[in-house]
Amino acid sequence: MAGPGIRYCHFARELAPRFAVSLLIPNDPAGLPLPGVDIIRARSDRHRQLSELSSRFDVVVAQGGLDVRTMTLLAGRTVRTIYDLYVPFSEVLTFQAERQRAGGSGQLVYRAHAQRQRIVLATGSAFTCANERQRDLLLGALNAARRIRLEDYDGDRTLSGLVAVVPFGLPAEAPRATRRVLKGVLPGIAETDKVLLWGGNIWDWLDPLTPIRAVAKIAAMRDDVKLLFLGLGHPNPAAEKMEMTGRAVSLAERLGVSGTHVFFNFGWIPYEERANYLLEADLGVSAHFDNLETLYAHRTRLLDYFWAGLPTLTTRGDALGDLVAREQLGRALEYEDVDGWVEAILSLLDEGGLYRRLRANVQRVRARFAWPVVVEPLAELVDRPGRPVGCTAGAVARTAEYALLRARISLGDKRASRRA
């Protein structure tokens, strides 16, 4: 499982004591520890399956919405839909802009996504997102989509029945190490080394270059500070490989630190194994650029660091960067500030008192991110009486436009593959 799968497992587990919960998943459910949850295997004709299922349920909670046909259909039925929109449009925009740079069909794909997003906003009964910034975005979008009416405000002045914040949580159980995986095990990392862990993929909108440059600078002064990029590659094989990964690898090589101070671990680390790496590391790191993606991002890797009690070094500008600065869970640095990183890495590693204080702060905020706590607003949303949205003419027209865009995209893809 990656972040999205983990999120839905926890939704199912936390909602099950209060509601009759079914979880619709594409994979084999074997080994999912979800007592009291009815597991349904997704069929290939998902639209028909959901159409049949929807009459049995009061509420459907779906990640990122559903197929446009299905959303339009459900909007006309009595079932209430809660669409979980924790991936903001800005991430899609950034992703597709990078893809288009590489000569892909990004422009059309983004337009199709934007169109689909309008259908999601027009047909959902309520929405969830990962942080307050995303909530601002969604409220603006819903207003422009004419989904916020005077009577909604009259009955609910905070509009909390329309958009709820459901962040990512931390497992209730503290992480436990089962074996040594890094220090004295990974060639190039000694028992006494200090390890900075980058725990997740290098998406194109992230900035691995600044931490690499900082570690290379430190390598010229001392030999015991190592940076490990863990889990490059996605468990879903369809997810694409990122250009920034290549740039990070070649920068480390050019600076002569690859394999000596900077390590790249390709291949996905099984969920249960992650604790071993996290617990052996000394600092969690993450960095990004000043752009639209950062404005609304919610980087779940930071939650892994919090879970393992690791002080975090990150860039300021996003919601979790704010949290790190406000709660003193590490440091949130300026964009692309190599010297700032050098200074922060050294002071966190060398000042024992500071390091211990930060670790204590991390322990303190962990309770706030327990899954039962973060899922509560979703449970309240499910519990809230509401009426179906109704299927508007606008949603139907947009569905047709969307189908047209998708057809153009697949035509373009076919042509491209013929050329190749």
Partner 1 sequence: MTSVLLVPNDFVGSRMAGPGIRYHQFASALARRFDVTLLIRNDPVDVQLPAVRIVQAPGSSYARVKELSRESDVVIAQGGLGVRTMRYLARAGVRTIYDMYVPFSETLAYEAAQGRAASYGTLSSRAQLVRQELALATGDAFLCANDRQRRLLLGALSVLGRLGMNRYRQDPTLRNLVTVVPYGLPAIPGTSAGAVLKGVVPGIRTEDRVLLWGGGLWDWLDPLTVIRAIERIASVRDDVKLYFLGVRHPNAAARAMGMNRRAVELAERLGLTGKYVFFNLGWIPYDERASYLLEADLGVSAHFDSIETRFAHRTRLLDYFWAGLPTVTSRGDVLAELVEREHLGRTVAPEDAEGFAAAVLTLLDDETEYRAIRANLEAIRPRLAWNSLVEPLAELVDGGTSPPPPKNMLKLPAAYAALRLRIALQDRRRPSERDRESGRSL
* CB 340, CB 333: distance < 8 Å: yes
Which of 24, 32, 34, 292 lies at the binding interface for partner 1 (CB under 8 A)? 292
Q: Which two tokens stand for residue 227?
A: 């940076």
As measured in angstroms, the least distance from the Cβ of 93 to partner 1 is 5
- Taking residue 63's Cβ as centre, other Cβ atoms within 10 Å add up to 16
Supply the DSSP string of 278-344, one letter for each residue: HHH-SEEE--B-SSHHHHH---THHHHHHHTT--EEEESSSHHHHHHHHHTSEEEEPTT-HHHHHHH
For the four alpha carbons of 348, 352, 353 and 357, in that order, the dihedral sign comes to positive
State the Cα–Cα distance between residues 281 and 199, nearest whole angstrom: 10
Total residues interacting with partner 1, rule: CB under 8 A: 42
Does the protein bind partner 1 through residue 393 (CB under 8 A)?
no
As measured in angstroms, the least distance from the Cβ of 228 to partner 1 is 29
Which of 96, 105, 245, 276 lies at the binding interface for partner 1 (CB under 8 A)? 96
Q: Which stretch binds partner 1 (CB under 8 A): 9-17, 73-81, 140-148, 356-364?
A: 140-148
Q: Which two tokens stand for residue 372?
A: 């039962």
State the Cα–Cα distance between residues 60 and 52, nearest whole angstrom: 12
Does the protein bind partner 1 through residue 150 (CB under 8 A)?
yes
Which of 159, 166, 244, 275 lies at the binding interface for partner 1 (CB under 8 A)? 159
Does the protein bind partner 1 through residue 289 (CB under 8 A)?
yes
As measured in angstroms, the least distance from the Cβ of 154 to partner 1 is 6
Does the protein bind partner 1 through residue 409 (CB under 8 A)?
no
Which of 83, 13, 70 lies closest to 42 in space, CA to CA? 70
Contacts for 341-346 with beta carbons within 8 Å, 24 or more apart?
Answer: 341/210, 341/211, 341/213, 341/214, 341/287, 341/313, 342/214, 342/217, 342/218, 344/313, 345/196, 345/214, 345/215, 345/218, 345/225, 345/283, 345/313, 346/218
Give whichever of 139 and 396 is closer to partner 1, judged by the CB atom.
139
Does the protein bind partner 1 through residue 143 (CB under 8 A)?
yes
State the Cα–Cα distance between residues 386 and 403, nearest whole angstrom: 30
As measured in angstroms, the least distance from the Cβ of 258 to partner 1 is 28
Which of 20, 40, 144, 172 lies at the binding interface for partner 1 (CB under 8 A)? 144
As measured in angstroms, the least distance from the Cβ of 341 to partner 1 is 21
As measured in angstroms, the least distance from the Cβ of 94 to partner 1 is 7
Residues of this chain, 50-89, that bind partner 1 according to CB under 8 A? 89
Does the protein bind partner 1 through residue 2 (CB under 8 A)?
no
As measured in angstroms, the least distance from the Cβ of 157 to partner 1 is 4
Does the protein bind partner 1 through residue 118 (CB under 8 A)?
yes
State the Cα–Cα distance between residues 191 and 183, nearest whole angstrom: 5
Which of 56, 157, 387, 419 lies at the binding interface for partner 1 (CB under 8 A)? 157
Does the protein bind partner 1 through residue 145 (CB under 8 A)?
yes
* CB 243, CB 202: distance < 8 Å: no
Does the protein bind partner 1 through residue 154 (CB under 8 A)?
yes
Does the protein bind partner 1 through residue 323 (CB under 8 A)?
no
As measured in angstroms, the least distance from the Cβ of 151 to partner 1 is 7
State the Cα–Cα distance between residues 100 and 92, nearest whole angstrom: 12
Which of 141, 186, 230, 257 lies at the binding interface for partner 1 (CB under 8 A)? 141
Does the protein bind partner 1 through residue 153 (CB under 8 A)?
yes
* CA 225 to chain CA mean position, Å: 28
Which of 12, 138, 303, 378 lies at the binding interface for partner 1 (CB under 8 A)? 138
Distances (CA, A) of 343 to 135, 206, 263, 349: 35, 21, 21, 10
As measured in angstroms, the least distance from the Cβ of 116 to partner 1 is 12
Give whichever of 106 and 311 is closer to partner 1, judged by the CB atom.
106
262-266 sheet: strands from edge to edge: 262-266, 225-232, 194-199, 283-285, 312-315, 330-333
Does the protein bind partner 1 through residue 94 (CB under 8 A)?
yes
For partner 1, the binding residues (CB under 8 A) are 89-90, 93-94, 96-97, 100-101, 106-107, 110, 114, 117-118, 121, 133, 136-146, 148-151, 153-154, 157-159, 289-292, 295-296
